[in-house]
Structure 1
Amino acid sequence: MVGDGSPLRGQLGDLALTLAERSAAFRSSLPASIASALADLVRSMNCYYSNLIEGHNTHPVDIERALAGDYSDNPQKRDLQLEARAHIAVQKWIDEGGIAGSATEPAVICEIHKRFCELLPAELLFAEDPVTHEKIEIVPGELRERDVQVGRLVAVSPGAVPRFLDRMHQAYGRLGRTEAILSAACAHHRLLWVHPFIDGNGRVARLMSYAILLKALDTRGLWSIARGLARKEAAYKGHLAACDLKRRNDLDGRGTLSEEELAKFTRFFLECCIDQVEFMEGLMKPERLRDRIMIWTEEQMRADLLPPKSDVVLKALLYQGSLERGEVAELLNASDRTARRITSALLEAGVISSETTRSPLFLAFPAKYADRWMPGLFPPED
C-alpha cells in the first residue's frame, strides 16, 4: 500500500472518500428496477471496454446477440463473441455474490481465470512466446510454469508465483473501507507485476479490481472503471509500466518497487473511477433519460415500428419502475387484446423485460438502442 509518508497519501484518502460519496449517491438515486436493468447493460459495457484494452473489438450489440445465442458466421468474430460471453458470465458470477471472501485470495484469482478461460473456444486458449513465437497452451485456472517477459518486465519466477500471491492476499485481503478502495488500484498493478498466468492477466486484474470495488462501495454493478481505462489506454499502460520501476531512493517508499509511481497510478485509477460514476450519473438523470426514451419512442411509433400508445407504457415504467400485466389495459384505457399486442411489441423490441408470461414488466436497456438512450456509453454500431 502507499505509505502514510507518501506526499500523495492525503490526496488519495480524499479521492477515496469522494468516490465513496459519489458512488453511494448515484446508487441511491436509482429505483431498484432501473438499477437492475442498468447493471445488465454495464456488464456488456465493461466487457466491451476490457476487450478493447486487449485489442479485441466486439461491439455490445454483437455481445448482446451472443448472449441470445445469435453468433456470426465469421469464425473470428464468433470466437470474439464467445470470449465476450465468457467475460460476462464471470462478471455475473461476481455480481451475484460468487466471491464469498476476498477477491485477492489466490484461490479466487485462479477461479476467475478458470471460469473465464474454460468458456473460451479452443482457438483462443493459446498464447505466443514473443521471442520464440512458440504456441503455448493456456490451462484454465493454472498458474504458469515457465518464465515470461512482458515488455521490459521480467516477471517473478514460476516457483515464486504462489508465494507472491499469498503475500498479495496478506497485504490486501483484510483492510478497512478506505484502504480497500485504495487496494483496488494497488493490487491491480501488483497482480500484473506477478503475472501469475501465461495469458489473461490483464482481464483477471480488472475483474479482481471490479470485485474489490463492488464489495467496498456496494456499487451494485452500476458503473465500471473499464470504460475509463480504455479511454485513457496509453496513460493506463504507461502508469503500469512506471509502477514496475525499482525504488529510486530512500524517499521512494520502503519496498523494492517505486512507491511514488504506485501512488501516481492509484491517483489515476481513483480519478478514472470518479469520472465514470459522474458519467453514468449524468446519463441516468431522470428527466433527461425520460426525454431521450420518449423522443425515440415517438419516432418508432411514427415509423410504425411500435404500435400507438407504446410511449404510455414506457413512461409509466420510467416513473414506477414496474407494471403488473393486468394494469396495462387500464393504463391505456384499451382492451386486454390491445394491451397484450402493445406489450408483445415492446418485449419483442427488447425495451421491456419480464421473467415469465405472467410476471411484472420492467424497463430494459438494450445495447442496440444505447447510442440514442444513453449516448456516449460506447460507440455506435458500424
Structure 2
Amino acid sequence: MEPLMPESGMKELEDLVSDFISKASRLASQLNPQVIKSVGDLVRSMNCYYSNLIEGHHTHPRDIEKALQEDFSKNKETRNLQLEAKSHIEVQKKIDEEDTKKIENIVSAEHISWIHKEFYKLLPDELKVIKNPDTGKIIKVIPGKLRDGNAQVGKHIAPRYKSLESLLARYEEAYKPKNLSKIKQVIAVAASHHRLLWIHPFYDGNGRVTRLLSHSYLKHIGIGCSLWSVSRGLARRVQEYKSALVEADSPRLGDLDGRGNLSEKGLSKFCKFFLACCIDQVDFMSSLLEPANLLRRIELYAEDKIKSGDLPKGSTALLRYAVLNGEFERGKAAQISGYKDRQARTVLSTLLKKGLLVSGNKKEPVTLGLPSEVLDDWFPKLYIGF
C-alpha cells in the first residue's frame, strides 16, 4: 500500500492545509458556545445523513429526528434505516464528547475496531449480514471484528485477510500524529482516509467507519469540530469522490509515479480533493453561521410565523436572545420579551412546544432548538438530495 504519504504537489497541498487551518479556527470562534452545542447536534445528524447517502442509504432528516426521539416507523425498511442513523449519530457523539487527545494513537487498529464495534452493535440483525455476489454465501458481520476472508469491492480486490494485521500496523506507524508535523498531520487525514478504504478491514461498514475516523482524526489534531462535516462535501461530489478513490487505488504508473506499488500521483490527487472538500464545507458553514445573517433569517422566520398566527408576539425577542446569549433562565422571559409574566410564559411555552427553544427540565436554562421544520429557513441548502 506504499506510498502512504504523497510526495508530489506538496506546495499545493501545503497551501490547502494552511487555508484549511486558518478558516477552521475562525469558524469555531463565530458563535456562543451554547449555540455551538445546538448546531453540533444538528451537524451530527447531517453528517449521518450524508455519510449514509454516499452508501446509497437515503434516510429523510425527519426520520432521523424521529429516531433520536425513539419514534420508529412501522415500515421495516424505514425503521432499519432509522436505527442505522441513530447508531451513526451516537458513535459520532461519543467521538465529539470524548477528549480525543487522550487517545494514544487515533489511527490504531484498536481505535478503528472500536468505531466499527460501536456502530454495528446497535444495528438490527438484518443490517449485520452481507451476501457474496459471486457465491451467494451469507456472511455475518461481527461488530469490531476484522474480516476473516477475502473481499472485493467493485474492481478493487482488497488485500488478503491474512495480511490485515501487518497492514494496519504499518498504517498506524505511518499516520501516528505524534510522528508528524502539523502540516503533515492534516495531509495524513486525507491520505489515511484512502488507505483505510483500500485495506478494507471489515466485511462491511468500511466507508462509514473511515469517514468517522477522519472526523475523529481532525478533532484529535485540533482542526475538526462539531460545526462542519466533510461527509456533506464528499456526498455533494460523490462521483468525483469515488473516481478519486479508484484513481488512488491504481498501481504505480512508471518511474515518475513514486516508489511504491500504488500510484503516488493518484494519492496526491485524492488528498487535494479531500482537503478541498473540507475547505468548501468550512466556508459553507462559516457563511451559514455568520451571526448577523443567522439572526436575520431566524427573525424573518419568527415574524412570518407571528403574522400567520403560528407563533405569539414576543417570540422573536426570545429567539434573538437565545441566539446571541446561548441560554436564559425561564424567569427572564418577561424581561426579555417585554410582556407581563403570564403572557411571557405563554410565549415561552409555545416556543418550547414547537422545539424552537429546548430545555432539559423546568429548572434548567432554555437554549435554542433546531427542529427539522425550520432547517430550510434557518439553514438553507444544508440538506441536499431529498
> Structure 2 length normalisation: TM-score?
0.95
Report the CA distance shift for 1:243/1:293 in structure 2 as closer, same or farther (over 3 A).
same
Amino acid at match of 2:174: A
Q: Deviations over 1:200-223 (max 9, x none)?
A: 001111001111112223433110
Matches within 5 A, 1:364-375: 364-375=369-380
Per the alignment, residue 78 of structure 1 pairs with: 79
- C-alpha distance in 1, partners of 2:336/2:204? 54
Cα distance in structure 2, aligned partners of 1:17 and 1:30: 22
Equivalent residue runs for 1:38-49 within 5 Å: 38-49=39-50
Between the aligned partners of 2:136 and 2:36, the Cα distance in structure 1 is 46
Q: Which residue of 1 aligns with 2:135?
A: 132
**Structure 1: gaps (5+ residues):** none
Out of 212, 232, 241, which is 2:246 matched to?
A: 241
How many percent of aligned residue pairs carry the same amino acid? 42
Matches within 5 A, 1:73-222: 73-97=74-98, 99=100, 100-173=103-176, 174=178, 175-222=180-227
Counting matched residue pairs gives 379
* 1:246–1:257 CA contact under 8 A, matched in 2: yes
More displaced, 22-31 or 263-272? Answer: 22-31
| Residue 306 of structure 1: how far off its partner (Å) | 1.8
1:57-106 Cα deviation digits (max 9, x unpaired): 00222101110111111110010000000000000010011642332110
Contact 1:351 1:364 in 2 (8 A): yes
The root-mean-square deviation of aligned C-alpha atoms, in Å, is 1.4
What's 1:28 paired with? 29
Counterparts of 1:121 and 1:176, CA distance in 2: 42
Partner of 2:353: 348
User: CA shift at 1:380, angstroms?
Assistant: 8.3
Query: 1:63 corresponds to which residue?
Result: 64
* Among candidates 291, 298, 319, match of residue 296 of structure 2: 291
Distance 1:304 1:52 in 2: 37
Q: Which runs of 4+ in 1 moved over 3 A?
A: 1-4
Displacement after TM superposition at 1:248 (Å): 1.2
Alpha-carbon distance in 1 for matches of 2:49, 2:303: 30
Question: Are 2:272 and 1:267 aligned?
Answer: yes
Structure 2 residue identity aligned to 1:51:
N
Q: Distance in 1 between matches of 2:158 and 2:99?
A: 29
Report the Cα distance in structure 1 between the residues aligned to 2:142 and 2:324, rounded to whole angstroms: 48
Secondary structure of 2:28's aligned partner: helix
Worse-superposed segment, 38-47 or 359-368 = 359-368
TM-score (norm 1): 0.96
Q: Hey, what does 1:335 align to over in structure 2?
A: 340
What are the superposed Cα offsets for residues 325-361 of structure 1, whole Å, 9 maximum, x if unpaired? 2211122233333222222211111111222211111
Q: Distance in 2 between matches of 1:3 and 1:380?
A: 33
**SS at the partner of 1:217?**
coil
Local SS of the residue matching 1:140 = coil
Q: Give the CA deviation at 1:3.
A: 4.5
Q: Which whole-Å CA distance do the structure 1 matches of 2:325 and 2:209 have between them?
A: 38
